[in-house]
Structures are given as C-alpha cells and as structure tokens.
Chains A and B, each alone.
Chain A
Amino acid sequence: MSGPFQLTPLAETRPGMVLSDVVRDGKGNVLLAQGVVLTESMLASLGRHGIDVLPIVQAVPAAAPIDPVAVRARLDHVFRKHDRDDLGDWATGILRRYVEDYRLEREVAA
C-alpha cells in the first residue's frame, strides 16, 4: 500500500486506473497484483469473479496554480472575527499566518 487510494465500485472503474493493492477472490487467490493498470478485459473478468469493489490509486490532482490573492481573501473571510491589532489575541494571529504559509506553500525555516 502506498499513497492515497479509494475503494471504488467496479461499475465506476475505468480502464487506465491503477490498483493500489492486490485483488483476491473469495478464496484468497490473487487475481491481480498491486500496481496493475486496469484494462477493459480485466474489469470484465473481475466482474465474473464476483469482485464488486477495487482499491484504486487516487490520481494526484494536477496542482492547480495557487492564487495568492484568492487565498488571502478567503483567509480574511474565515478569520473575520480576528482583530490584528488585538495583542491579546496573538494565538489566532499565529494560526492565520501558519495556514497562509501552508496554503501558499512557503518555505519555512525549521
């Protein structure tokens, strides 16, 4: 097992998807190995073996470009109760700064 996967009903699987784990039949026999790229005929065969759900590797979403303006605007909204000038409320301010660094993928000194 490596990386995120999703248990996907057979009906929703498509050729080209990748198995995140071995698939076994009811008796424990291995039908397909981990990492196999599914084909049309494999899917049909799995159906005949009574397999109804498959562990599919989650496609790593193509990283959408980060829009710093939108990120900050949303954080301003979510943190609308926080008053930057209220020194007693520093913990909320630090949380906001960390989340902003996280969302903007800034390098952080250890």
Chain B
Amino acid sequence: MNRLTPEQLAAGVQDLPSLPAVVMELLSSIEQEDIDISVLAKKVSYDQALTAKTLRLANSSSYGLQVKVTTIQQAITFLGFQTTRNLITAAAITGCFPSGQCAGFHDKSFWRHSIATAACARALARRMRFNQDIAFTAGLLHDIGRLVLVTGHPDAYDQVVAWHAEHGGDWQDAERAVLGIDHVDAGVALADHWNFSSTMRQVIAYHHTPDTHGAGFLAAIVHVANAIVHALDLAGEDDELVPRVSSVAWDAMGLNEEAYLHLFRETELQFGEMSTILMT
C-alpha cells in the first residue's frame, strides 16, 4: 500500500510548480476590491503567454464584447476588474501543471471537466445573483487536489487508477482506499500553500459535502455544477459517473426544469469555446 502521511502530502505540495507571482497575488486577494489595477495590469503584461491567453478569453463570445480588447488594461476597462482577474487566473492555472505524469490519469479530461464546471458554475451563479467571477474560479479549482496528488505522487496515483479500474465508483473512494487521503485533503493543503482566499478553500473542502454546516452557498453551487457536468458527459471519459446530488444543494438552487435546460445549453456552448482557448 502507498499510504500518504500528512507530511508526505505537505512535501508534495511544496514541490509543486509555482504560479506566476502576480497570479498568486490575485488568488489570495480574490475578494479584495482595493487593488492597484494599473500596477497589476503592468505586471501581467510582462508575461506574454499569459496575456495572450487572457485576451483570447476576454474576446471569446462568452463575454459578448463588441470590440476586441488588445491589452490587459483594456480588458479591465470593458469587462471590469473582477472578471479580468478571473480570466488571468484561469489562463495561468490551466498552464501551470505538467501533463502526462501518470499514465492512467487523463489530464485532458481533467481540464475538460474543470473548465465545464467553471462555465456551469458561472451560469448558475448568474441565476442565483451570486458573484459569477468567483463562481467561475471556484468551479475551475474545485478538483485541483487531484492534480496535487498526480503531480506530487505519480507512482502512488498509478495504484489509485488501478484500484479504480478494478472497483469502479468514485475517485474519492479509490484515493482513500490506496492513499488514505483524497483529493479534497490535497486540495485544501494546496489552498493553504498557495494562500487561496477562505471562500475558495471552503469550496474545495466541501464541494462533495455541501450539506455540512458552514460549507457556504458557493460550495452548493459548485456541487450542483459538478454533477451537471458529469451528467452532460462533457469530459469525454468512458467511465463517466454522476455522483449523488445533495438534495439540500439542489433545493437551494430553486430552479425549474426550463431554467435547467437553458443552463445545460449555456454550459455546453461556453465550454466548447473556452476549452479550445484554455487547452492550447
């Protein structure tokens, strides 16, 4: 068995690739409004790859801009600071983990699922009159712990994949059975290490258990978005599996069928466009 101790987990997190400093700054200040925008725009623009990806996102039809933005400063002017900040984060996070670490783990499917969940959480949040940008980032990051495990402990994760192939079921069960910890633990460790805001940390910790007291409304949004994306079969995994949907979280959305059908359509459309941009 390949049990991971909390110390090994922490060591694995330390060894992870680091995000550009400016992105770390953005993630830790996600609920802060009083940031010097011009300084930030300048810092981001030093990173050309990051800037290019961010601008492609900003110009995608999901954001419905009538003009094409060509600088970060322009994106901030037209989309607002919050939205631009989240696009920068999305562009940075999707490019920072090495792929192909573990043969049985499909990086592409992982990101397809994460991007679709981000799009769905954003669309749900709009209907809930909740902050759409925070919901988008939360959806993108909810399963980030899986990447922590795969990147930090690829050999051990190979065994998780083997266990999963044999027993089926949830990844969480496979991770617990082999490693003794799961991607929720690893995600929380990363959230601490990368200094995520407490809202993001809550979502990572409770997206499987949104009924927990104090889990927060955002955890419920991401929980439902995650289930919808599994049900819509967007990740492209043969053994796709819809987890049990919390009736408390479902109730909290309070949407009728017509609203859900629109939501499904919106999720699929935005996912298609965003995944092309983020996964190149």
Which residues of A are at the interface with B, using a C-beta cutoff of 8 A?
1, 3-7, 21, 74-75, 77-82, 88-92, 94-96, 98-99, 101-102, 108-110
Contacts and interface: CB of A to CB of B under 8 A. Distances in A.
B233 A89 contact: no
A81 B273 contact: no
Contacts of B246: 91
Closest 9 CB pairs of A and B: A91-B250, A91-B245, A91-B247, A92-B245, A99-B231, A98-B260, A102-B264, A78-B240, A110-B258
6 contacts: A4-B273, A78-B240, A99-B231, A102-B260, A108-B258, A109-B258
A7 B260 CA distance: 29
Interface in B237-280: 240-247, 249-251, 256-258, 260-261, 264-265, 269, 272-273, 276
Contacts of B243: 81
A94 B56 CA distance: 36
Interface of B: 56, 61, 64, 66, 68, 169-170, 227-228, 230-233, 240-247, 249-251, 256-258, 260-261, 264-265, 269, 272-273, 276
Given A4-B272, A99-B264, 4 more contacts: A1-B66, A78-B242, A88-B247, A98-B261
Nearest to A79: B242
A39 B251 CA distance: 54
Given A81-B244, A95-B231, A96-B242, A101 B61 contact: no
A82 B244 contact: yes
B214 to A, nearest CB: 21
Contacts of A79: 231, 242
A98 B257 contact: yes
- Of the listed residues A88, A90, A98, A109, the one surrounded by the most CB atoms of chain B closer than 10 A to its CB is A98
A77 B233 CA distance: 11
B241 A101 contact: no
A74 B233 contact: yes
A74 B244 CA distance: 17
